[in-house]
Structure 1
């Protein structure tokens, strides 16, 4: 049994839970073509499987390059149903890539938010509670990849190499992925509250 006088839990630097208010700037669905890119819609109807018809919908998904610990194609829990982006972070990426703009739908975003600083750094287990009642549980940040970079590259035929530049410039700015904890409808103009859980650094001992 651990010595209570040297219990690590008593010495952790803990950040208590808190809330941040934000705003829904846009919602995006998958077109009939099932392309990687999304398109603006009036509202986003969410079920426990995510966005119906979206290429990322489903209770489970197949593992890929992000899960090297499984053989590719292993069926696993789908924690990546929804892509959530920040208008402020998209502007930073665009500036770093020397682009006039970077739209959420180009890189497959489902929901674009404003007003939540450093959205991509929000910790796992955060609950995004939308004004209409929807709740999305954050799994973590969405690592930028060349696949999304290629979608940006197609928007600017006079530029080359944007597919490789995007992963370099969008690190820890590419938004979040999460899953639907409470289904319903999300629309642009709604308020959203990020319920940040208690946090600490798990030490390497």
Structure 2
């Protein structure tokens, strides 16, 4: 059995590579609410963004973690929410609305120049020019909470809260955690260090 397993054709492996982009906007949720607001810089610590609603080394599990009882304390891999301008525009087009602003859906950072940002794989290191490094955990799945926030800005349209989770899959950006603390400012260069990739089929 072991011989058969390792004599099988080697999976296709994509080599590690680097691509570069730019920090377009920075935002923080400084109160208890979901929405964020623009800031001139963000300082990252190992707990995330000090004072941000999503800061902390740990967090409580919710609907995204059905394998734990709701409210279980777990590692916080969702310290930072990262979006892309072009993906927001595409989500708005699919919803047939004028715009989706990043602060409406709790973004901390908007990056430009990284193609198909939401498809950047887990374990990618986002290294910023000033020295901070974020580690990508994975895609941020669109949810009805974000949909409700968008819908509040279009009171004459019905069903937008449900439309967002349906049309914004793989356009909602990434969540990440702080690997190396530092301060980031708008206009700063960021390099995405993408690891080797392959499809694991067992």
TM-score of the two chains, using structure 1 as the length reference:
0.95
Q: 2:142 aligns with which of 138, 141, 144?
A: 144
Distance in 2, Cα, partners of 1:134 & 1:18: 19
Unaligned runs of 5+ in 2: none
- Map of 2:27 onto structure 1: 28
Deviation of residue 133 (structure 1)? 0.8
Are residue 54 (structure 1) and residue 52 (structure 2) matched? yes
- Map of 2:196 onto structure 1: 198
TM-score of the two chains, using structure 2 as the length reference:
0.96
Q: Secondary structure at the match of 1:7?
A: helix
Distance in 2, Cα, partners of 1:109 & 1:26: 9
Distance in 2, Cα, partners of 1:199 & 1:8: 20
Unaligned runs of 5+ in 1: none
Deviation of residue 173 (structure 1)? 0.5
Q: Secondary structure at the match of 1:167?
A: helix
Alignment of 1:127-138 (within 5 A): 127-138=125-136
The two structures, once aligned, show a CA RMSD in angstroms of 1.5
Q: Secondary structure at the match of 1:23?
A: strand
After the TM superposition, which segments of 4 or more aligned residues of structure 1 sit over 4 Å from their partners? none
Distance in 1, Cα, partners of 2:146 & 2:128: 27
- Map of 2:177 onto structure 1: 179
Paired residues in the alignment total 202
Alignment of 1:102-181 (within 5 A): 102-181=100-179
Q: Secondary structure at the match of 1:137?
A: strand
